[in-house]
Amino acid sequence: MIISRHFLYFIFLGLFWGLSQSLYKAMALQNMPISHVIVYAGFGVGAGLMVAARLSGTRLDFSREVIVFGLGCAILLNIPFAIGLFLIRHLPATEMALIVSTAPFFNYVIALATGRENAVPRRLLAVAAGFVSSAVLILSREGMLSGQISWWTLAAFSSPILYTAYNWFAAHFWPKDRDVYSIGASESYWSGFVAVPALLYFAAPWSPSTPELFAYWTVLVAGILWIIERIAFFTLIRDRGAVYTIQAVYVSTPAAVLFAIFFYGGGADIWLWVSLAILMVALWLNNTGSSVRPLTAIQPSS
């Protein structure tokens, strides 16, 4: 049996999205400044994509359209990404993984509001199930039933909500017939550049807040995986479309919870499993049946 390249990209994408929250938690435990993660990973991934393009024989295209598109993507991606890196320092990785996995439902709501998607009953039911899953997760957390609201848990939903702006921009303004290496490199370099002021102001490399060199292993591992993730994500979006690509969440959602439990333990109470089960039903509803218009793109590195 021959396994297609697209299927391998699909599986990698789901597993990486699942691993990412545990990886971000490791960065937090290493006291890695958020600005260092964004700047160094941005430049590293950009350079890696240029090397990958050369090895594949692809001629890079840094036309004005690609550069402007990359800048827009970088700005819209860095905001929810930075928020997620901050909030993972205050929540268990299992909870953050489930919360980020609700992004497809917020994407669908935005798609409905902007006319990019029709009001298909099956997907409306999926949205409802997705929010029920979130409600179970929130209400079952310690202290919630006694009236003590976990503001960190509520704040964490800002990350998948804000990812919808990135997804809409990426789907609406994608430069036609551009290669994935050029798009990915442009976005990655701009991600590093736009975060440099924050790095110099909040955590300059010569300041006491700079962690030991060994702590940067988390950024190195993430950077290497992000190079592959960028190639996989943009290739699937370009060749197979967002409807196919978004189904990688089937892999990432349970993988995220299992990775988090494996690496950090805890958080695996019965209500978390109930929330996960409802979310899987919602994802199944969201990715089955017919759709008149294509779905928007999904988040690349949750």
Average pLDDT value over all residues in the chain: 82
User: Does residue 23 register a pLDDT over 60?
Assistant: yes
* More confident call, 84 vs 136: 84
pTM for the structure as a whole: 0.80
- Show me where the domains of the chain are located: 5-286
pLDDT of residue 148: 56
Which stretch of 4-8, 43-47, 112-116, 171-175 has the lowest confidence by average pLDDT? Answer: 112-116
pLDDT of residue 196: 95
Average pLDDT over residues 149-169: 83
Please answer whether residues 253 and 276 qualify as being in contact, where contact means their C-beta atoms are separated by less than 8 angstroms. yes
Long-range contacts of 149-154 (CB under 8 A, 24+ apart): 152/87, 152/90, 152/91, 153/91, 153/95, 153/99
Please answer whether residues 199 and 35 qualify as being in contact, where contact means their C-beta atoms are separated by less than 8 angstroms. yes
Average pLDDT over residues 226-240: 86
User: Does residue 72 register a pLDDT over 90?
Assistant: yes
* More confident call, 265 vs 287: 265
pLDDT of residue 289: 61
At 246, is the pLDDT very low, low, confident or very high (cuts 50, 70, 90)?
A: low
At 90-102, the pLDDT tens digits run 888 878 877 877 7
The string of DSSP codes covering 108-154 is: HHHHHHHTSS---HHHHHHHHHHHHHHHHHHHTSTTTTTT---HHHH
At 49, is the pLDDT very low, low, confident or very high (cuts 50, 70, 90)?
A: very high
Average pLDDT over residues 197-211: 90
